[in-house]
Amino acid sequence: MSADTATGLLESGAWHRNGFSGGWRALEGGIIEVIEPATGAVLAEVGHAAPTDVRSACAQARQRQVAWAALPYQQRAAIFRAAAQRLEGERAAYAGWIVRETGAIPPKAMFEIDSVLHLLHEAAAMLTQPQGLVLPSVEGCTSIARRQPHGVVGVISPFNFPFLLSARAVLPALATGNAVVLKPDPRTPVCGGVLMSLLLAAAGLPEGVLQMLPGEADAGEALVTDPDVAMISFTGSTAVGRRVGELGGRHLKKVALELGGKNAFIVLDDADLDLAVSGGCWASWLHQGQICMSAGKHLVHASIGEAYAQRMADKAAVLPVGDPHTQQVAIGPLITRKQVERVERIVRESLAMGAKLLAGGSHEGQFYRPTVLSGVTPAMPVFREEIFGPVVSITTFDSDAQAVALANDGEYGLSAGIHTRDLARGLRIAEQLHVGQVHVNDQTVNDDGTMPMGGRGASGNGSRHGGPANWDEFTQWQWSTVRATPPRYPL
Ligand code: NAP
């Protein structure tokens, strides 16, 4: 399994050095080199969008959207089902790209593919669901509210789960009758954009309904401010989300923001320690901690704090680190050198403030070792900042109230997990946490396209992706009335 196994859809080569805008074509911004994080090798070249490319893509998408929304719903549903079937046949080649372009271990790549398969089936299913409501009506007048597409939806996606995080916005947006202009992250344009474009084109999506333009911040801002774009779905950092929200507000767009997290994993004194350690490892080390829902702070009851920390450190010492394309490892590379420097800075500053290093804390190139810090206090950067690296940060507490206060101490509000044998106690704590999702007796990283996922505070503006939330995000209501005869007014 490798990115150079150019089988099936990827074999055509038409995507090389191009963007997808009314077919594969060269972009005015030139070329982006796709770098493998594990080796530094150039994996491919794709087109680089300039703001002028974004302008013409949005205009074309707006023009094609009307015919797309008018296509019989059975035909639109069939396209998503055909894409799912194609994806089944492309598993190995697509997974190879996810491994090499994102530095993922193969099970993470397979998880992304299975999740996108699920989203494709969900998109097909949306088309046969009710599309509106019959409202209270007076005699002689029927009043209905129908779900209507926004028009053109701009999607901006990040590097960490690029195939899945592009798909979770692109697919429901298309299913509800919108056209889409997708800007994947320039570090992962193949998984974030090329794979989905190839899949949907092969499944029969009419040309121009999906436009895909790899690009940087200037292309992103051109998309957010484009007059033909009605909605932006942005997944990425809180800093960039603020900028996108600001620009979107000024241009009166609907903006869905899915941003960063600093998620609490709470272990109560009655928890099963084995299972808590297992959940904690997964939540902080899966994909090198580069997940918005990663456990950013492990809050552990003081009576078991030392045992928990030691078990995490023992685990860290034996987890294999290396290139997931050529070796069987648990931890791959961080996405860029800049990200390694960020993790280093957060760990260094926290150690200087008194945190204790139990494991890791070093790196070779972009391979940062699984790291465990104990004795962490709320003043330390490792407690407050999103790390996006394989770092377990442990803080102890003495009471449930203190656990809640520590979990809620910070600007983020994405996800939380609580381990306890007492379900009522777990639920009482869950109800007090300011987060978009919380799991009693599970860890923080849970994703399922059927569920409404999103964050509060600095983690998002209350928008949601998934299941019933997709109707709320990607459509707007139109109230219409029909009377048999027009009424006569007194003036
Ligand atoms: P990022 O730096 O915010 O980048 C996200 C996307 O925004 C990229 O495509 C980026 O392109 C683009 N962008 C940058 N500046 C822009 C601007 N001014 N206008 C429009 N677009 C712009 O985030 P990241 O570092 O790639 O991703 C990690 C972050 O995403 C973490 O904070 C993580 O928690 C969050 N995340 C959240 C969720 C969720 O569901 N809540 C899921 C996954 C990740 P460039 O790369 O060219 O700058």
Binning pLDDT at 50, 70 and 90, where does residue 11 land?
Answer: confident
- Rounded to the nearest angstrom, the distance between the alpha carbon of 158 and the centre of ligand 1 is 5
Shortest-distance Cα residue to atom 4 of ligand 1: 236
- Single out the residue of 139, 129, 142 nearest to residue 177, CA to CA: 129
CB 413 within 8 A of CB 435: yes
Binning pLDDT at 50, 70 and 90, where does residue 79 land?
Answer: very high
Cα–Cα–Cα angle for 332, 334, 340, rounded to 5 degrees: 135
Binning pLDDT at 50, 70 and 90, where does residue 12 land?
Answer: confident
What pLDDT sits at residue 2?
Answer: 40
- pLDDT at residue 6 greater than cutoff 60: no
- Single out the residue of 441, 394, 401, 384 nearest to residue 418, CA to CA: 441
Summarize pLDDT for 369-425 with one digit per residue, the tens: 999 999 999 999 999 999 999 999 999 999 999 999 999 999 999 999 999 999 999
Is the Cβ atom of 159 under 6 angstroms away from ligand 1? yes
Summarize pLDDT for 25-55 with one digit per residue, the tens: 999 999 999 999 999 999 999 999 999 999 9
- pLDDT at residue 5 greater than cutoff 80: no
- Rounded to the nearest angstrom, the distance between the alpha carbon of 235 and the centre of ligand 1 is 6
Query: What average pLDDT does the chain have?
Result: 96
Domains of the chain in sequence order = 3-259+460-478 (3.40.605.10), 263-440 (3.40.309.10)
Alpha-carbon span 169 to 258, nearest angstrom: 11
Is the Cβ atom of 160 under 6 angstroms away from ligand 1? yes
- Rounded to the nearest angstrom, the distance between the alpha carbon of 203 and the centre of ligand 1 is 29
CB 255 within 8 A of CB 88: no
Tokens of 75: 């035909």
- Rounded to the nearest angstrom, the distance between the alpha carbon of 215 and the centre of ligand 1 is 12
What pLDDT sits at residue 171?
Answer: 98
What pLDDT sits at residue 7?
Answer: 60
**Gyration radius of the chain over CA positions:** 24
Shortest-distance Cα residue to atom 25 of ligand 1: 237
Is the Cβ atom of 412 under 6 angstroms away from ligand 1? no
Question: What pTM value is reported for the model?
Answer: 0.96
- Single out the residue of 13, 14, 50, 12 nearest to residue 31, CA to CA: 50
Q: Which ligand 1 atom is nearest residue 455's CA?
A: 41
Summarize pLDDT for 114-133 with one digit per residue, the tens: 999 999 999 999 999 999 99
Alpha-carbon span 295 to 202, nearest angstrom: 38
Averaged pLDDT for residues 84-92? 96
- For the annotated catalytic residues, the residue numbers are 258, 292
Is the Cβ atom of 220 under 6 angstroms away from ligand 1? yes
Binning pLDDT at 50, 70 and 90, where does residue 1 land?
Answer: very low
Provide DSSP, 167-227: HHHHHHHHHTT-EEEEE--TTSHIIIIIHHHHHHHHTTPPTTSEEE----HHHHHHHHH-T
Tokens of 474: 């990607």
Shortest-distance Cα residue to atom 20 of ligand 1: 220
Query: Do the strands 231-235 and 254-258 form a parallel or antiparallel pair, or are they unpaired?
Result: parallel
- Classify 361 as helix, strand or coil: coil
Averaged pLDDT for residues 54-66? 98
What pLDDT sits at residue 46?
Answer: 97
Tokens of 378: 């709320």
Alpha-carbon span 416 to 407, nearest angstrom: 8
Tokens of 121: 């089936």
φ/ψ of residue 324, rounded to 5: -70, -10
What pLDDT sits at residue 137?
Answer: 86
- Classify 409 as helix, strand or coil: coil
Count Cβ atoms below 10 Å from residue 4 Cβ, excluding itself: 12
Alpha-carbon span 328 to 34, nearest angstrom: 23
Averaged pLDDT for residues 172-182? 98
- Rounded to the nearest angstrom, the distance between the alpha carbon of 108 and the centre of ligand 1 is 20
Summarize pLDDT for 336-370 with one digit per residue, the tens: 999 999 999 999 999 999 999 999 999 999 999 99
φ/ψ of residue 149, rounded to 5: -65, 155
Q: Which ligand 1 atom is nearest residue 260's CA?
A: 34
